């Protein structure tokens, strides 16, 4: 049997392992003491703390949902949660998505609601150069300037004018003019894709992650620090030999582990930008919504995930998320502004959390991926492909690669 090394036991690596293990001798090499990567949780006072940020599962992709429910964790072991997301906008709590909450905005600022409506309905398709243009074109100037541009400047840590817009089309619900009008005359009904999601009945996402990794050979606490390509095999960390290597580790680091990577590829790898995220888990007063967005620069938090409302029965727990590195003391201080955040319970600063789509993203990520392809090193997953993928897309990408590898073998 051919030997395959998979670097990283996050959602992508575990899915690949699962799909390849019957046909190959598969070893997953994971630097952490636990599997799950960005999606893993830590148990704090009997509560799943999503250390990189709150996660929920949903997908438009039926193949993925069928795979999860039929092969990983049966549907009856999940509960279905209605999204009830809010935005703290101009000192008022309004419904998400904002473009369906114009009626709510009119209750405290009629002129602003009128301008948002007028601009949305008169916006026209135009050539788009950057993310700012894209928001102006899709949502009209007022919604773009009042909400989308400030919120996105905050979560990306850069001006949307300096960002590419290629990622956003699949990420944001884009209403058409008829839907916008319907929301104006009806009550806001959040029926967009992802308006509901699944969470495991165990009230811990790790149940899903562990089910995904069932029966796999994972070597934990193993940091891959050197990858060498031989004539017909690969050597990892100067000792273990494999017939094939699949990497799910960040694309900006992989070229530096390989001997003989050309200088221009190393330069491209250095240009790949990403953001970290700082998180704090809190005990809270009861709240109704599933999460809240904070576009204003008045607070360092961009989102409060009321993770306790993902659970059945619900718990009073919230995760506050802030882009970049913030100290424990800074997060506690920022939490004092919110009367429902009672007591900090845990804190974490991530490594790679968000790919940044700046001007170099497309060109430099392509150059690195093309190079890795040319030496037959597969790089896959959110940071392996350097794309803004959710778990379902990572799983789809893993499925595509597993199919390709199996068909070559056959």
Ligand X SMILES: Cc1cc2nc3c(=O)[nH]c(=O)nc-3n(C[C@H](O)[C@H](O)[C@H](O)COP(=O)(O)OP(=O)(O)OC[C@H]3O[C@@H](n4cnc5c(N)ncnc54)[C@H](O)[C@@H]3O)c2cc1C
Phi, psi dihedral angles at 384 (to 5 degrees): -65, -35
Helix spans in 186-327 (H): 206-212, 254-257, 263-270
* Tally: H helices and E strands in the chain: 14, 21
Burial class (CB in 10 A: 0-12, 13-18, 19+), 212: buried
Q: Which of 11, 131, 269, 367 binds ligand X (CB under 6 A)?
A: 11
Nearer to ligand X, 104 or 392 (CB): 392
Nearer to ligand X, 41 or 248 (CB): 248
Nearer to ligand X, 223 or 264 (CB): 223
Q: Which of residues 327-366 bind ligand X (CB under 6 A)?
A: 353-354
Per-residue contact track with ligand X, 196 to 225, x per CB under 6 A?
---------------------------xx-
Write down the least CB distance from residue 333 to ligand X, Å: 21
| Contact track, ligand X, 122-151, x by CB under 6 A | ------------------------------
Q: Which of residues 261-300 bind ligand X (CB under 6 A)?
A: 277
CA–CA gap between residue 345 and residue 150 (Å, rounded): 30
Q: For ligand X, which is the closer residue by CB, 147 or 198?
A: 198
- The answer to whether 87 and 292 have CB atoms below 8 angstroms apart is yes
Residues in the chain: 410
Q: What is the largest CA-CA distance in the chain?
A: 70
- In whole angstroms, the minimum distance from the beta carbon of 223 to ligand X comes to 5
- By CB under 6 A, tell whether 320 contacts ligand X: no
The answer to whether residues 107 and 91 touch, using CB atoms and an 8 Å cutoff, is no
Q: Which of residues 94-113 bind ligand X (CB under 6 A)?
A: none
> Could you tell me which residues are beta bridge partners of residue 44?
47
Tell whether residue 10 is a contact of ligand X (CB under 6 A). Answer: yes
Cβ proximity to ligand X: between 103 and 194 the closer is 194
Q: How far is the CB of 293 from ligand X (least distance, A)?
A: 13
- Which one, 249 or 341, has the nearer CB to ligand X? 249
Compute the least distance from the CB of residue 235 to ligand X, in Å. 15
Number of residues that bind ligand X (CB under 6 A): 35
- The 19-58 site mask, x for binding ligand X (CB under 6 A), equals ----------xxxx----xxx------------xx-xxx-
Q: Which of 4, 5, 9, 163 binds ligand X (CB under 6 A)?
A: 9
Reduced to 3 states (helix: H, G, I; strand: E, B; else coil), residue 206 is: helix
**Spatial separation of the C-alpha atoms in residues 351 and 325, rounded to whole Å:** 10
Q: Quick one: residue 36, left, alpha or beta (phi over 0 = left, psi -120 to 50 = alpha)?
A: left
Spatial contact of 319 and 279, defined as CB atoms under 8 Å apart: yes
Contact 34, 53 (CB under 8 A): no
Residue 255 sits in the site that holds ligand X (CB under 6 A): no
Q: Which of 369, 392, 388, 379 is nearest to 57 (CA)?
A: 392
Taking alpha carbons only, the member of 52, 54, 55 closest to residue 348 is 52
Q: Binding to ligand X (CB under 6 A): which residues in 382-401?
A: 382-384, 389-392, 394
Give the SS3 label for residue 55: coil
The nearer residue to ligand X, 29 or 87, going by C-beta atoms, is 29
- 7 touches 224 (CB < 8 A): yes
Closer to ligand X by Cβ: residue 36 or 140: 36
- Catalog residues that contact ligand X under the rule CB under 6 A: 7-13, 29-32, 37-39, 52-53, 55-57, 223-224, 248-249, 277, 353-354, 381-384, 389-392, 394
């Amino acid at each position: 049997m051919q030997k395959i090394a998979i670097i990283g036991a996050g959602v992508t690596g575990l899915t690949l392992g699962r799909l390849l293990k019957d046909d190959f001798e598969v070893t997953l090499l994971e630097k952490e003491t636990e599997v799950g990567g960005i999606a893993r949780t830590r148990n704090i006072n009997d509560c799943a703390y999503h250390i990189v940020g709150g996660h929920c599962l949903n997908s438009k992709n039926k193949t993925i949902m069928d795979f999860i429910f039929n092969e990983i964790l049966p549907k009856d072991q999940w509960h279905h949660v209605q999204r009830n997301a809010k935005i703290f906008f101009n000192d008022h709590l309004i419904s998400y998505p904002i473009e369906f909450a114009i009626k709510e905005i009119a209750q405290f600022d009629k002129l602003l609601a009128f301008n948002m409506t007028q601009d949305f309905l008169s916006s026209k398709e135009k050539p788009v150069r950057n993310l700012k243009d894209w928001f102006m074109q899709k949502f009209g100037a007022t919604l773009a300037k009042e909400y989308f541009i400030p919120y996105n400047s905050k979560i990306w840590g850069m001006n949307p004018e300096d960002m590419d817009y290629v990622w956003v089309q699949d990420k944001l619900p884009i209403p058409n003019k008829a839907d916008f009008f319907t929301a104006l005359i009806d009550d806001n009904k959040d029926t967009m894709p992802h308006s509901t999601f699944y969470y495991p009945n165990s009230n811990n996402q790790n149940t899903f992650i562990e089910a995904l990794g069932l029966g796999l050979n994972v070597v934990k606490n193993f940091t891959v620090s050197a990858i060498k390509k031989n004539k017909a095999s690969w050597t990892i960390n100067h000792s273990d030999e494999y017939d094939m290597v699949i990497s799910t580790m960040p694309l900006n680091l992989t070229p530096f582990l390989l001997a003989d990577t050309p200088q221009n590829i190393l330069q491209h790898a250095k240009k790949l930008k990403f953001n970290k995220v700082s998180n704090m888990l809190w005990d809270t007063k009861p709240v109704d919504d599933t999460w809240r967005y904070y576009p204003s620069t008045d607070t360092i938090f961009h989102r409060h995930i009321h993770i306790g409302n993902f659970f059945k029965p619900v718990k009073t727990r919230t995760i506050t998320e802030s882009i970049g590195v913030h100290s424990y003391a800074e997060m506690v201080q920022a939490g004092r502004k919110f009367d429902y955040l009672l007591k900090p319970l845990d804190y974490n600063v991530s490594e790679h959390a968000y790919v940044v789509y700046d001007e170099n993203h497309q060109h430099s990520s392509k150059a690195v991926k093309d190079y890795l392809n040319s030496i037959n090193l597969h790089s896959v997953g959110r940071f392996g492909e350097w794309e803004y993928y959710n778990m379902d897309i990572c799983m789809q990408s893993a499925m595509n690669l597993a199919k390709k590898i199996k068909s070559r073998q056959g």
